Amino acid sequence: MGGLLFGYDLGITGGVTSMEPFLVKFFPSVYKQMKDESSHESQYCKFDNELLTLFTSSLYLAALVASFFASTTTRMLGRKTSMFLGGLFFLVGALLNGFAVNVEMLIIGRLLLGFGVGYCNQSVPVYLSEMAPAKIRGALNMGFQMMITIGILAANLINYGTSKLENGWRISLGLGAVPAVMLCVGSLFLGDTPNSLIERGQREAAKKMLQKIRGVENVDEEFQDLIDACEASKKVEHPWKNITSPKYKPQITFCSLIPFFQQLTGINVIMFYAPVLFKTLGFGDEASLISAVISGGVNVVATLVSIFSVDKFGRRILFLEGGVQMFLSQMAVGAMIAWKFGVSDEGSFTKGQANLLLFFICTYVAAFAWSWGPLGWLVPSEICSLEVRSAGQAINVAVNMLFTFFIAQVFLAMLCHLKFGLFFFFAGFVVVMTIFIALFLPETKNVPIEEMSKVWKSHWFWTKVVPDDVADNDRKAVQES
């Protein structure tokens, strides 16, 4: 449900901001500019409005702030408490948006939605990584990304259905309360993770939970590993300071750069501005929403591919293949827009050309959905040891939300000024991030979280950075257990 909330908001926003009744009520200047045929405003600049982009991006700024509070909550009160609070924030925010009567009410609602997203994105990936056995940790954790894609698709379908209604935008925004209620209620029936229970001194409850989720009585070896990890974490008085020490340089590097690169793939341009983007490129009102539904459906199917392949083929191969496919797709999209629109904004797509453009966008979405989408949440959540896990995940969420905010805030202005060059801009970053993964990310499939340190010592680069005693202590602990 935590992923569903995030995905629903990503998908719903672009559709709502392309609905004319919504624009008339809250952003009349954008509506007037869009309808003014006498204006010489560029096709690329139809929706370039700072207040409109603030409506979209304010959520991610709030999520950035919330992620730091959520880190403390997740560590001290448990993962399920953070999930409950995330659902509660999202519920209130969705209701405020659904009943909004002015822009101020909209923005306040968006900020509360952001707190909900921040709490859920902090706690849910950690919860899944800690509950899952190492052999299926990748597939189970990718359930989070799967729910994000389902949320996006559901939002696109709802937008298509409500676009013909006078106050359809209220229904689209208000329905976010449904998954929020489901998350709040569901979290009450969840058990907390063994790691979290041990961290809070509840060892007996932790052992029972471990026996329950593993389905066997003899869990002594794994349980002792968790206790050892917890004892090590208790010696760390300041996890935020500790994660900057040399032994955690790989973790802080990937927890910072993976979400940074994830946003600079340009995916959220497609996800939360899809209807606006398609409308800008000459698709009609209905066609733009249908196109968003199609790309959302591809997103769901492609995420299924990653669930069934991540623990078989590993993380690196999905990252690398996805990077190559995204680059080629973005170059094709940019070339088509340059060919038809150029910089003078004159031209249009035929039906066949529009379908070809949609095909390239879908191949791009598919590549992201089985690579940087799910792996952007999986890898940071599985590489951090217990003593810095909350801090590492907070950094992951904060960087993700910071650059989601940045891209959301400047995208429409960038589209207006860079025109088709925007897609070449993102393609360039895809090249950089693919090379980064090829050189610096070791394979982490089937490696228990508590033994992750030995991965760094076997890597050509990180072995020069991570102190020798880290891996030695890890091997010693494994031998003793």
pLDDT top residue among 401 and 269: 401
Looking at residue 35, its pLDDT comes to: 66
186 three-state secondary structure: helix
Looking at residue 49, its pLDDT comes to: 61
Which pLDDT tens digit goes with each residue over 55-92?
A: 777 888 888 888 778 877 877 788 888 889 988 999 99
Residue 301 burial (CB < 10 Å; 0-12/13-18/19+)?
middle
Tokens, residue 48: 């370039």
Tell me the DSSP string of 269-337: HHHHHHHHHHHHTT--HHHHHHHHHHHHHHHHHHHHHHHHHHHHH-HHHHHHHHHHHHHHHHHHHHHHH
Residue 8 burial (CB < 10 Å; 0-12/13-18/19+)?
buried
Looking at residue 345, its pLDDT comes to: 59
Which pLDDT tens digit goes with each residue over 179-214?
A: 899 888 888 888 888 877 887 878 888 888 888 877
Res 475 pLDDT > 50: no
Looking at residue 270, its pLDDT comes to: 67
Which of the four pLDDT bands, split at 50, 70 and 90, describes residue 282? low
Looking at residue 478, its pLDDT comes to: 38
- pLDDT > 90: what percent of the chain? 15
Count of positions (residues) in the chain = 481
Looking at residue 477, its pLDDT comes to: 39
Q: 0.75 cut: is pTM over it?
A: no
Tokens, residue 169: 């935008």
- Which residue shows structure tokens 């729910």? 147
Q: What is the mean pLDDT of the chain?
A: 80
Looking at residue 479, its pLDDT comes to: 43
Which pLDDT tens digit goes with each residue over 414-467?
A: 777 777 788 899 999 999 999 999 999 999 888 877 777 788 888 889 988 888
* CA dist., res. 296 & res. 123, Å (int): 25
Which of the four pLDDT bands, split at 50, 70 and 90, describes residue 50? low
Angle at 375 between CA 301 and CA 398, to 5 degrees: 120
Res 239 pLDDT > 70: no
Looking at residue 287, its pLDDT comes to: 63
